[in-house]
Amino acid sequence: MTPHTDSSSDWAQITRYVSGEATPDERQSLEQWVRHNPGRQALLEQANRLWTTRPQPTYAEAGDVDHQIARLSARIRSTRETELRVPRTPWRVWAPVALACTVLLLVAGDRLLRSGKPYVPIRSVATSEYKVYTTRPGQRATVELIDGTRVHINVGSTLEVPRNFGHSSRTVRLLGHAAFDVSARNNTPFIVDAAGTQTTVLGTEFSVRAYTSDVRVAVRSGKVSVGACGGLSAPRQPMDGCQSQSSRVTVAARGGALVTPAGNVSHDTRADVARDLAFTSGRLLLNGASLGEMIDDLNRWYDADIRVTDKAVRELRLGGWLSSGDLEEFMQYLTGALPVRVQREGRVVIVSPL
């Protein structure tokens, strides 16, 4: 039996009370009003519960505040040195030129201020037909395409953008893992070709993971259509679209799709959008996966060669998340979380039971 009140002035008071806006007098008068009627007491409790019940924080919160403060310091220092006031040209005017520069700058900023590793720009190759962006293991980048679509490229991946992108078609090819924040253009669907699959969207945010021919798609917002082109044995097919698509699946927000090497497309009942998009915030989510399952991902994330020979150790479960850091941090995490011994020689990390 739920109490009911139609009075909007009652609700105004309840809202002020619950949100902390009420003055001490107002609080007293509301409390008195409530005391005279137990139904009102329940109502106030419900309103309070509505106000105070919060979800668990998502992966996107918190983050490295110290790093951001260091970045702020550096910016202030550099602006002090260059007293010139340069008029700001809207970037759209320079888009074709700025694209390459933007990518390098973004990665430069990332690398300079993070780990002590030497700065290595991501590979950006222009041929007469494509622009190709390649990240190495341990390296991520964000590329903004000419239509405003943002692509976050994860570690060890390659994105190919044809020269005529954005005119009559918007198709890109991916090897590896990327997240897409697609600009809505109703007449031109955005298509991602990856390991023989095609993911088609109008405007949305999603991730495609195709390091091997097992492809995984996860959708944060909007809808995508995922199809497999018959015959995945020819990865260098021309990018003019899959003519024969054996199966298609439509995926909505918070869902996902899986495509097997054989080309079977199905809904991913264990889709975890947060896990597949975590890299855009510089995190690798572990979520209870076993060390053995995560080795390939960890090698790509850290640019390392992790070796675990003991079967029992491979099956140990990992929790929480890792951020882009160096291998030392990861080794500390491992020895803190699992009963293991860790030895390192350059890129090679050997994990053995205690």
Partner 1 sequence: MTGSERDIRDRTWIVRLQAGDESALGELFRAYYSELVSFARRYVSSPDLALDVLQDVFTGLWLQRQDVRITATVASYLYGAVRHRCLNIRRHERLAERWVVEQESIMAEIPSVVLPNVDTLELSEAIEYAVSQLPPRAQEIFRMCRENGLSHQEVATTLGISVNAVAVTMTRALRALHESLRDWL
Q: How far is CA 331 from CA 46, 185, 309, in A?
A: 47, 46, 17
- Our CB check for partner 1 shows the closer of 68 and 164 to be 68
- Angle (CA) 244-250-255 rounded to 5° is 135
- Our CB check for partner 1 shows the closer of 141 and 226 to be 141
Nearest distance in Å: CB 53, partner 1: 5
Q: How far apart are CA 245 and CA 52, in angstroms?
A: 49
* Closest CA relative to residue 171, chosen from 135, 107, 180: 180
Question: Which residue reads 């809202």 in tokens?
Answer: 15
Instruction: Compute and round to an integer the Cα radius of gyration of the chain.
Output: 26
- Our CB check for partner 1 shows the closer of 19 and 352 to be 19
Nearest distance in Å: CB 83, partner 1: 11
- Angle (CA) 159-163-168 rounded to 5° is 105
- Our CB check for partner 1 shows the closer of 8 and 233 to be 8
Q: How far is CA 168 from CA 40, 186, 240, in A?
A: 61, 12, 12
Nearest distance in Å: CB 55, partner 1: 4
- Our CB check for partner 1 shows the closer of 133 and 306 to be 133
- Our CB check for partner 1 shows the closer of 79 and 247 to be 79
C-alpha distance across the termini of the chain, in Å: 59
Q: Where are the alpha helices (DSSP H) in the chain?
A: 8-18, 24-35, 38-52, 65-81, 95-113, 273-277, 291-302, 311-314, 327-337
- Our CB check for partner 1 shows the closer of 36 and 88 to be 88
Nearest distance in Å: CB 25, partner 1: 17
Structure tokens belonging to residue 110: 């990332």
Nearest distance in Å: CB 350, partner 1: 34
Nearest distance in Å: CB 2, partner 1: 5
Nearest distance in Å: CB 56, partner 1: 8
Q: How far apart are CA 154 and CA 216, in angstroms?
A: 14
Provide the binding-site residues for partner 1, judged by CB under 8 A.
2, 8, 11-12, 14-16, 18-21, 46-47, 49-51, 53-56, 60-63, 65, 68-69, 71-73, 75-76, 79, 90-92, 106, 142, 148, 150, 152, 181, 183-184, 203, 205, 280-282
DSSP β-ladder status, 205-210 and 197-201: unpaired
- Our CB check for partner 1 shows the closer of 205 and 299 to be 205
Q: How far is CA 288 from CA 276, 321, 331, in A?
A: 14, 10, 18
Nearest distance in Å: CB 45, partner 1: 8
